[in-house]
Amino acid sequence: MDRPVAIITGAGLGIGRATAIELRRREYELVLVARTETDLRETEKRAGASALIIPADVSDPDAVDRLVSRTLERFGRVDALVHAAGVAPRLSIEETTPQRWREVLDVNLSAAMYLARAVWPTFRKRRAGVIVNVSSFSARDPFPGLAAYAAAKGGINLLGLALAREGAELGIRVHTVAPAAVETSMFRKLVRADQYPTEKTLAPEDVAHVIGQCVAGDLRYASGEVIWLQKSAAS
């Protein structure tokens, strides 16, 4: 296998789908992961090339181990991991049950740890590899009702720094991309267009482009840092 291989979670929609298209343009073989297979098939179609489709719940550490094993069985390598899967229910603190709190942290934060742990041995063996975790502006300026989501994304920011420091001597880079509002179905479930107009939001492709730069090494000196993305007033 000559082409590099990228695992993308949350690949069925939004930022994950845009990232799949971006990395395919950069000639990566794709492993597309999300809960809904039909969404993944649509992403595969839009990327314009066959991919390894793995419907999975990345909050399950056993499922994560299996999807990495399947990737290695199919391609013999993993070069990049992009964790774009996420859930963001807008709930008051009184509405945030322990179950919902765990769900948000498991998908957004714990999954990032499970994925990193699963790819780490092959990255260490090859002394190369890159992880990109998608965080959010909510980690420093959350909407009301996003306590669990903001806490999870804040955790991802520090996890990325810790992993980058651990991986530096092994040739492993870890990037954290934290966009403000992005025009996705997840965002529009939280905020209507009359509350936050489209002209203020980033496109998923804007975020995917930066993720592509991280994967390609253009932003290699930003390993460990949080890359904050926000649409400028002039754009």
DSSP 55-98: E--TTSHHHHHHHHHHHHHHHS---EEEE---------TTT--H
Residue 193 has pLDDT above 90, yes or no: no
98 found inside a domain: yes
Average pLDDT over residues 39-53: 96
Domain that holds residue 201: 5-229
What CATH number should be reported for the domain holding residue 153? Answer: 3.40.50.720
The first and second tokens of residue 235, run together, are 């754009």
What are the pLDDT digits (tens) for 125-182? 999 999 999 999 999 999 899 999 999 999 999 999 999 999 999 999 999 999 988 8
113 found inside a domain: yes
Tell me whether residue 104 is exposed, middle or buried, using C-beta atoms within 10 angstroms of its C-beta: 0 to 12, 13 to 18, 19 or more: buried
Per the structure, the count of domains in the chain is 1
What pTM does this model have? Answer: 0.94
Residue 233 has pLDDT above 90, yes or no: no
How many other CB atoms sit within 10 Å of the CB of residue 22?
25
Can you name the residues that pair with 53 across neighbouring β-strands? 32
| Residue 187 φ then ψ, to 5° | -65, -40
Q: Please check whether residue 135 is in contact with residue 177, taking contact to mean a CB–CB distance below 8 angstroms.
A: yes
164 found inside a domain: yes
Confidence (pLDDT) at 235? 47
54 found inside a domain: yes
Confidence (pLDDT) at 1? 65
What are the pLDDT digits (tens) for 61-120? 999 999 999 999 999 999 999 999 999 999 999 999 999 999 999 999 999 999 999 999
176 found inside a domain: yes
Confidence of residue 213 (pLDDT cuts 50, 70, 90): very high
Residue 59 has pLDDT above 70, yes or no: yes
139 found inside a domain: yes
Closest CA to 69 of 81, 77, 57, 59: 77
At residue 118, what is the residue type?
A
Confidence (pLDDT) at 168? 97
Confidence (pLDDT) at 157? 98
70 found inside a domain: yes
The first and second tokens of residue 59, run together, are 């909050």
27 torsion bin: left (phi>0), alpha (psi -120 to 50), beta (else): left
235 found inside a domain: no
